[in-house]
Structure 1
Amino acid sequence: MIRSDFWNIKYDIETEIKPRYVRVNTLSLSLNEAVDGFRDEGWNLCKSQDKTNYKEFLNKITSLAEDEFLIDIHIPNLLIFPPKTEFYNHPAYKNGSLVLQDKASCLPVHILGPELGSIVLDMCAAPGMKTTQVAAVINNEGTIYAVERDPKRFETLNKIVDSSGATCVKTVNKDVLTCGGNNFPGVQYIIVDPSCTGSG
Structure 2
Amino acid sequence: MKLVIGNKNYSSWSLRPWLLIAQNDLPFEEVRIPLDLADTKEKILQYSAAGKVPVLVDGDVTVWDSLAICEYVSEQHLEGRGWPADTAARAEARAISAEMHSGFPAIRGQMPMNCRATGRKVPMTPELEKDIARVDRLWSDCRARFSAGGPWLFGEFSIADCMFAPVTSRFATYGVSLSDLAREYQQQVLNSKAMREWVEQGRQETEVVEADEAGA
Larger of the two Rg values belongs to structure: 1
Does TM, scored on the shorter chain, surpass 0.5?
no
Structure having the larger proportion of residues in helix:
2
Between the two structures, name the one with larger relative contact order (CA 8 Å, sep ≥ 6). Answer: 2
